[in-house]
Amino acid sequence: MLSQFLALTETLEYEDDGWLSITSAEWERSTLTLTTSVRLPDAAHHNFRIVCTDPRSHHIVAAGVDDLVTLTADHVVLWPNTEQQGELYFNGAPNDPASLLGSLIETHLETVGRWYAVDYFLNLSGHATDVLRGGHGLLAKGPVPLLKAYAEVLDRHGASHSSPPYRDPVWWSDSQWIPEREQLFALIVGESYVVAPTFLETAV
């Protein structure tokens, strides 16, 4: 998949002083089509149309990038679609709610970086420290590897926790949730990403 596009962005010319931008992103039914422009130091422009079939998730940033481009089956942006999902509940008020909150945010950033906002998985509705001071409630919903990282923080702060049985990932297709059965990949372009089973390229 994307052999020409990736080969171009792996050249020394691109790595030295190349530039890439996503110039458009268009939806048609279950297909997301990206138009990209790759500029090399010799001022040559190479344009590609990338068709992402049945994308599971995406985040597109219009700004150009000089980052390396990656197509991978191992990235945190895949977790909501490839890892088991669940909820994490806490029981018992921590001695220092503010310190616990700070540790949770630090662990979030260490685990998933800035690919997801802190409140994407953590339940920070209302005043977060007041929620923690209340002594019980839903702390987070999301992929199990991240929930386990949060649980370790609770352990260090002396707060007990529990989780209902985990669920296998599902995705929305044709007006219904269906179990995820396909191998998924993440196309990473700077801060942009698309998660999908297939990516098809056309030079334009």
pLDDT tens digits, one per residue of 65-123: 777 789 999 999 999 999 999 999 999 888 898 999 999 999 999 999 999 999 999 99
Contact 5, 36 (CB under 8 A): yes
Residues 54 and 108 in one domain: no
Place of tokens 């010799």: 42
User: Does pLDDT of 129 surpass 90?
Assistant: no
- Please give the model's pTM, rounded to 2 decimal places: 0.91
Does any domain span residue 19?
yes
Helix (H, G, I), strand (E, B) or coil at 140: strand
Give whole-number Cα distances, 19 to 1, 13, 61, 174, in Å.
Answer: 21, 10, 14, 37
Report the domain count for the chain: 2
pLDDT tens digits, one per residue of 6-43: 998 888 888 888 889 899 999 998 999 999 999 888 76
Give every CB contact of residue 8 below 8 A, 6+ residues apart in sequence: 14, 38, 46
At 127, the pLDDT band (50, 70, 90 cuts) reads confident
Contact 34, 201 (CB under 8 A): no
Residues 152 and 188 in one domain: no
Domain that holds residue 38: 3-73+173-203
Does any domain span residue 79?
no
Residues 88 and 158 in one domain: yes
Residues 89 and 151 in one domain: yes
